[in-house]
Structure 1
Amino acid sequence: MSLFERYLSVWIFLAIVLGIVLGNLMPGLFALVASAEFAKVNLVIAVLIWAMVYPMMVGVDPASLKDVARQPRGLLITLVVNWLIKPFTMAFLGVLFFEYIFSDMIAPEDATQYIAGLILLGAAPCTAMVFVWSHLTRGDANYTLVQVSVNDLIMVFAFAPIVAFLLGVTDIEVPWETLLLSVVLFIVLPLVAGLMTRRGLGNVAAIHAFQGKIKPFSVVGLIVTVLILFGLQGPSVMANPALIVLIAIPILIQSYGIFAVGYAAAFFLRVPHRIAAPCALIGTSNFFELAVAVAISLFGLHSGAALATVVGVLVEVPVMLSLVAFANRTRARFPEDPA
């Protein structure tokens, strides 16, 4: 790893601080960035995420996709965690903290809103950023692509019913344009570009050399994304620091808990690390574009539900980087080849 990559957590911390400062000093600039939006997807963030995902997609070898079927346990863990555990544990934690533990500090009507936002986060597994986390843990690019694709397919059918059940509402309108645009922007287009790049380079040595050259752009894209996300929410963070912390607590517990479940399951099932790390990280990360869009459409732009989903965005990157570091430190405990 280069010096730049080795101290990635330091650069992320500095980006967080700088983003909050600039967000308060130059709100107009970040408002302009926020206005560059289509179907609830911010186009500036989309370009940065695309830059982060593309290096991973260059590593996707179509000829190896058939080998994914030989290791079904990683995919099974991902699906069980994402759809049978995560939404319900997030709902449980939301109720536990905002109706009981924080009941003296939060008005009941506000508590209901925050719980709703947490549920929306828990029911929306990650689509784009997981490619970045997989890349940072040297995950299997082919397997990660299959895991994310299957998750997206299930999300089309399962997201609205799960959210409706947990929220107790039936008139949920899934913003299909947000869901479909995100899949196209963050999976289809980078995948096509990666496959065309592989074909143009021609051989494995050239592909690896090219990936080494573009990897720094992926890291820079991550840092700039963090700066913009915290800049966009800088005024909210400064205006309600205590509330932000309260909302973040159940999200943090959920994130580390879900990772522990997925990672431990992969360890005991002898899943190779190149599959184990991404499958645990997929369950931990969230599809925040979808969660934020649904929160705004259901409860309004300035609702507590929308704020809770935004806090999820702010918490995610630092949490995921800490889990990436943990996964990399524990790599030797996992088998590298199929058991």
Structure 2
Amino acid sequence: MGEESLGIFEKYLSLWVIICIVAGVALGHFIPAFPQLLNRLQYASVSLPVAVLIWLMIYPMMLKIDFSSILRATRNLKGLTVTCGTNWLIKPFTMYLISSLFFLGVFSQLVPPDLGREYLAGAVLLGAAPCTAMVFVWSSLTRGDPAYTLVQVAVNDIILLFAYAPIVAFLLGIGNISVPYDTLILSVVLFVVIPLTAGYLTRRRLLRTRGEEYFRGFLRKFENITVIGLLLTLIIIFSFQGAVIIDNPLHIGLIAVPLIIQTFLIFTIAYLWARAWRLRHDVAAPAAMIGASNFFELAVAVAISLFGLESGAALATVVGVLVEVPVMLTLVRIANATRDTSLNDINLFFEGRY
């Protein structure tokens, strides 16, 4: 994606993201009544205002899906193998190892052992929950195949229902883990089922009654909706966490280190794996993005239910939200910069020699 083809929102997206994060933190810190009001508008630990904004981000992508292509996407077994293999056989375990190394080793002089174990728990809760909603945004920014992105999200959601609790229990040695299935199911309905249904019905009706040319013009009206929705979502999310972030600056930075390393590692594994198998870029990019990003709504809800609102585990999941967007935007740039390169060129890119 060349710079000349980008609009003002996409071209300076990193700047807008930083501004919105700062604005959200300031809003929550100086006007606490705002997040308190929004906090009442939630159900099953899912913020309804945030859900509406995420719906606005996802809906335009759903409009682009030729639903006859979904069946073809399910035949791309290599792409689904990369996604599922990275998310469920690699990601939770590398998150545990990297987080243990830092929280219980490298940072042991700065973080008390009990608190370090809580941070480790929060990191594992993030690592065992691949992204459900925001991956549609990252896929769109990398011009990913929307039908494939939908299929991989659906497959991950099914696996998540059965694998999340056992993996977390195994890694943390915690028995009787209670997964808030109302949060999980509601998130899937809000972030996948509703926008998918709305996109399908809209596309079908407009193509049937107005034709292809009108439909393309209709799509152009949503060009900036996804990015605007992302920015407004950040303001709301970080208004909830303003006091937590301001009160814990050192530990925010310490927690961020293994999370950032893990995100880059998982993206690199999935992306190089996909490119080594010669998958198209519009499949390889979203396959890497879904593993690199996290289902933070679920992770935050589980951390609070298991360890409490004021726990280190809950703080770690919040930091996951803090670092995810800037890091994922960096990965979007890497994916776009390597769109037309060979596997050898990609290796040189990661080594800094391309």
Quickly name the TM-score band, shorter chain normalised.
over 0.9
Q: Could you tell me whether the CA contact under 8 Å between 1:56 and 1:141 is conserved in 2?
A: yes
In 2, Cα distance between the equivalents of 1:191 and 1:110? 41
Cα separation, partners in 2 of 1:223 and 1:334, compared to 1, 3 Å: farther
The alignment status of 1:257 with 2:265, answered yes or no, reads yes
Report the counterpart of residue 305 of structure 2 in structure 1: 297
Residue 287 of structure 1 is matched in structure 2 by 295
CA contact (8 A) 2:74 2:151 kept: no
Indicate yes or no: 2:135 matched with 1:130. Answer: yes
Shift of 1:3: 2.0
- 1:210 equivalenced with 2:218 (yes/no): yes
Name the amino acid aligned to 1:183: V
Structure 2 residue aligned with 1:329: 337
Question: Are residue 90 (structure 1) and residue 95 (structure 2) matched?
Answer: yes
Q: Which residue of 2 aligns with 1:38?
A: 43
User: How far apart, CA to CA, are the structure 2 residues paired with 1:58 and 1:67?
Assistant: 18
Please say which of residues 83-92 and 223-232 is displaced more in the overlay. 223-232
Q: 1:34: Cα distance to partner?
A: 2.1
Moved more, 319-328 or 95-104: 319-328
Mapped contact 2:271–2:285 kept (Cα < 8 A): yes
Residue 150 of structure 2 is aligned to residue 145 of structure 1 = yes
Structure 2 match to 1:108: 113
How far residue 326 of structure 1 moved from its aligned partner, in angstroms, is: 1.4
Aligned to 1:74: 79
Deviation at 1:9, TM superposition (A): 1.2
Measured against aligned partners, the alpha-carbon deviations of 1:250-293 in whole angstroms (never above 9, x if no partner) come to: 00000011001111111111110110100000000100111011
Does the aligned pair in 2 maintain the 1:273–1:334 contact within 8 Å?
Answer: no
Q: Which runs of 5+ in 2 are unaligned?
A: 1-5, 344-354
Q: What per-residue deviation string (whole Å, max 9, x for no partner) do you get for residues 200-251 of structure 1?
A: 2104433332222112111111001111222221111111111100001000
Q: Which residue of 1 aligns with 2:276?
A: 268
Corresponding residue number in structure 1 for 2:233: 225
Contact 1:118–1:251, Cα closer than 8 Å, also in 2: yes
Root mean square deviation of aligned Cα: 1.3
Distance, in Å, in 2 between the alignment partners of 1:208 and 1:162 is: 44
Identity %: 55
Residue 334 of structure 1: how far off its partner (Å): 6.1
| 1:2 lines up with 2:10 in the alignment | no
- Could you tell me the TM-score, scaled by structure 2's length? 0.92
